[in-house]
Amino acid sequence: MLKISVGLLSVILIGLLFGSAGRAIDKIQEARIAETAREMVVRNDWVVPHYNGELRLQKPPLTYWTTALSYKLFGVSEAAARVPSLLFALLSACLLFIWLKDTLNIQAAANAVLVMCTSFLGMRYFRSAEADATLLFFVSLACFAGFKLFESPNKKTVYLFMLALGLGFLTKGPAGIAIPLMTVLGYAFATKQLHTVKAIINPTGIMIFLVSAFAWYAWILISMPDVAQQFVSRQVDETFVSGTHQQPIYWYLAHAVEFFAPWSLLLVPAGIWLYQHRPLPKVVHFSIIWLLVVFVLLTFTVNKQTQYALLFLPSIAILIGYYLQVAQGRFYQFNRVIFCLLAIAVIALFVVGIRKQGLTHVLSLPTVLIWPLLLLGPWLLKRELNIPAPQTPVLLAAVFATFIYLFAEQYITKDTEKDDIKQLVQSVAIDSTSSQALYQAKPLYQAKPGDGAVSFYANRPIQPLGGKQLEQLLVVNKTLWLLSKDKPVLENGVVMQEKQIGRWALWKIVSK
Mean pLDDT to the nearest integer, 158-162: 96
Of 396, 416, 436, the residue at which a domain comes to its end is 416
- Whether residues 458 and 400 share a domain: the answer is no
Please state, as a whole number, how many other Cβ atoms lie within 10 Å of the Cβ of residue 367: 15
Give, for 428, the enclosing helix (H) or strand (E).
Answer: helix 420-429
One-letter amino acid at 12 equals I
Residue 254 lies in a domain: no
Residue 39 lies in a domain: no
Q: What is the pLDDT of residue 181?
A: 96
Instruction: Report the distance separating Cα 248 and Cα 387, nearest Å.
Output: 46
Give, for 445, the enclosing helix (H) or strand (E).
Answer: strand 444-447
- Whether residues 395 and 431 share a domain: the answer is no
Alpha helical stretches, state H, 18-131:
28-43, 62-74, 78-103, 106-118, 120-125
Mean pLDDT to the nearest integer, 363-370: 71
- Whether residues 144 and 212 share a domain: the answer is yes
Alpha helical stretches, state H, 251-328:
251-254, 256-259, 267-276, 282-299, 313-326
- Whether residues 399 and 427 share a domain: the answer is no
Mean pLDDT to the nearest integer, 348-367: 77
Q: What is the pLDDT of residue 437?
A: 46
Helix (H, G, I), strand (E, B) or coil at 199: helix
**Between 87 and 471, residue with greater pLDDT:** 87
**Interval 52-111: pLDDT, tens:** 988 888 889 999 999 999 999 999 999 999 999 999 999 999 999 999 999 999 999 999
Residue 54 lies in a domain: no
Instruction: Report the distance separating Cα 291 and Cα 285, nearest Å.
Output: 10
pLDDT averaged over the chain?
88
Contacts of residue 43, Cβ cutoff 8 Å, sequence gap at least 6: 50
Q: What is the pLDDT of residue 362?
A: 73
Instruction: Report the distance separating Cα 48 and Cα 24, nearest Å.
Output: 26
The domain of 494 spans 419-511
**Interval 110-121: pLDDT, tens:** 999 999 999 999
**Pair type for strands 464-465 and 444-447:** parallel
Q: What is the pLDDT of residue 99?
A: 97
Give me the residues paired with residue 482 across strands: 445, 507
- Cβ(433)–Cβ(469) below 8 Å: no
- Whether residues 338 and 378 share a domain: the answer is yes
Residue 290 lies in a domain: no
- Whether residues 391 and 472 share a domain: the answer is no
One-letter-per-residue 3-state SS of 229-270: HHHHHHHHHHHHHCCCCECCCCHHHHCHHHHCCCHHHHHHHH
pLDDT band for position 231 (cuts 50, 70, 90): low
- Whether residues 463 and 410 share a domain: the answer is no
Of 242, 273, 300, the residue at which a domain comes to its end is 242
pLDDT band for position 435 (cuts 50, 70, 90): very low
Of 219, 242, 265, the residue at which a domain comes to its end is 242
- Whether residues 410 and 467 share a domain: the answer is no
Residue 436 lies in a domain: yes
Burial of 295: CB neighbours in 10 Å, binned 0-12, 13-18, 19+: middle
Q: What is the pLDDT of residue 114?
A: 96
Q: What is the pLDDT of residue 230?
A: 65
For residue 193, give the DSSP letter.
-
What are the two backbone dihedrals, phi and then psi, of residue 28, each rounded to the nearest 5 degrees? Answer: -60, -40
- Whether residues 186 and 210 share a domain: the answer is yes
Q: How many structural domains comprise the chain?
A: 3
Q: Of all residues in the chain, what percent carry a pLDDT higher than 90?
A: 50
Mean pLDDT to the nearest integer, 494-503: 88
> 484 — alpha (psi -120 to 50), left (phi > 0) or beta?
beta
Residue 338 lies in a domain: yes
**Interval 169-219: pLDDT, tens:** 999 989 999 999 999 999 999 999 988 888 888 999 999 999 999 999 889
- Whether residues 440 and 476 share a domain: the answer is yes
pTM to 2 decimals?
Answer: 0.93
**Between 373 and 320, residue with greater pLDDT:** 320
**Interval 119-128: pLDDT, tens:** 999 999 999 9
Query: Is the model's pLDDT at 163 over the cut of 70?
Result: yes
One-letter amino acid at 463 equals Q
Counted residue by residue, the chain has a size of 512
Residue 202 lies in a domain: yes
Instruction: Report the distance separating Cα 508 and Cα 498, nearest Å.
Output: 6
- Whether residues 406 and 444 share a domain: the answer is no
pLDDT band for position 439 (cuts 50, 70, 90): very low
- Whether residues 386 and 423 share a domain: the answer is no
Residue 431 lies in a domain: yes
Query: Is the model's pLDDT at 383 over the cut of 60?
Result: yes
Q: What is the pLDDT of residue 50?
A: 92
pLDDT band for position 490 (cuts 50, 70, 90): confident
Please state, as a whole number, how many other Cβ atoms lie within 10 Å of the Cβ of residue 192: 7
Q: What is the pLDDT of residue 237?
A: 58
